[in-house]
Structure 1
Amino acid sequence: MELPPDFDSSNFWEDSPFAATKTEPPPTDELIHALETELGYRLPAFYVAMMREHNGGIPHNNTFPTTEPTSWADDHIAITAICGIGRSQSVSLGGPQGSQFMLDEWGYPNIGVVVCDCPSAGHDVVMLDYRACGTQGEPAVVHVDQEDDYKITFLAPNFEAFVRGLVPSEAFDE
């Protein structure tokens, strides 16, 4: 899959030395398959297409509106990075502090794949939620709040809707 023509990825990502620490080289088909096998889930086509163009990093728009309060705010969550497909960066899917680490070491529920890091340094994450679709389906996107007994808050029906729903932090009174 290629990214839809109405999605402008050229202005999506922050370009800074710090942002580069969250970015991996473009993933190969072999790496994608290996990580899908290890994680036990097929990654969404839109996510894979995004990562083929820019593999992880910090988006300019880094907040997502919510209809219920979280430990972060009454009306939104924030992300610090979208995890890349790789193993070398700490929060990449297969990195030392990637998805499996968050499940094993932090006790996050085994419902899918941790796909975004949040500013709380591990106390909340954004996950691809495969509970309704199975391991090969199109997962919903949820916020999981470790500080609130791993409360799961629905964000978007799929990864594309999540990415398109990200807004600048200035949209909210902090």
Structure 2
Amino acid sequence: MELTATDYRRPVLDPTTVFDRSGPLEDPLTDEVLQVVEAQLGHKLPTAYVDLARRHNGGSFARDAHPAPSPTSWAEEHIGVDILAAIGHTAPFSLCGELGSAFWVAEWGYPDIGIYIADCPSAGHDMIALDYRSPGSPTVVHVDQERDYQITALAPDFETFVTGLVYESTYEFDK
């Protein structure tokens, strides 16, 4: 789906500012793949995530931190973020891939609260998830394995989470 200047939906995220230059993890998302992934995950994905994946499907974030309302195992006032999972099943770090959302629940014991969408620099010791426990659109949360899987709300929705990303260099490293 090509977005044009006449597309009057909510503003979409710009992949040239969201991702670094390392390239996407999978081909652009198609309707067919989206349908299969959502059926396998049992949840409808946020529109902003889907729109982004139609243009750049997963990859390393350009901005590598997000403010946190309370201390985490990573830092006192923020979390580190690394890679956004592709919406698909062929790349290892895609939502339904070998290291996808189900892997984190089954192999690492992460709570089954929704969909794990982003990895952090801790190599699996904390993750970013879409939290579907409440009705309506999923919130974005940080799940900290090092703190007994503590769940911390980061943003009310996917788009707000991504637009809230900052460069970790803006923080004095406090770990």
Query: Structure 1 residue 152 and structure 2 residue 154: aligned?
Result: no
Q: Which residue of 2 aligns with 1:131?
A: 133
Distance 2:61 2:112 in 1: 26
SS for the counterpart of 2:102 is: helix
1:1-150 equivalences under 5 Å are 4-5=10-11, 7-16=13-22, 20=23, 23-133=25-135, 137-150=136-149
Tell me: CA distance 1:30–1:80, structure 2 relative to 1, closer, same or farther (3 Å).
same
The structural deviation recorded for 1:67 is 1.4
Distance 1:66 1:8 in 2: 23
Tell me the TM-score normalized by structure 1. 0.90
Q: Deviations over 1:83-134 (max 9, x none)?
A: 111122221101101101111111111110001011111111000000112x
Indicate conservation of the 8 Å contact 2:65/2:81, yes or no. Answer: yes
Q: Which residue of 1 aligns with 2:166?
A: 167
The structural deviation recorded for 1:6 is 7.0
Indicate conservation of the 8 Å contact 2:12/2:48, yes or no. Answer: no
5+ residue gaps, structure 2, are 4-8
The structural deviation recorded for 1:171 is 1.0
Q: Percent identity?
A: 47
Q: Please tell me the root mean square deviation across aligned C-alpha atoms, in Å.
A: 1.7
Distance 2:55 2:107 in 1: 31
Tell me the TM-score normalized by structure 2. 0.90
Distance 1:129 1:12 in 2: 21
The amino acid that maps onto 1:111 is I
Indicate conservation of the 8 Å contact 1:91/1:117, yes or no. Answer: no
Indicate conservation of the 8 Å contact 1:61/1:168, yes or no. Answer: yes
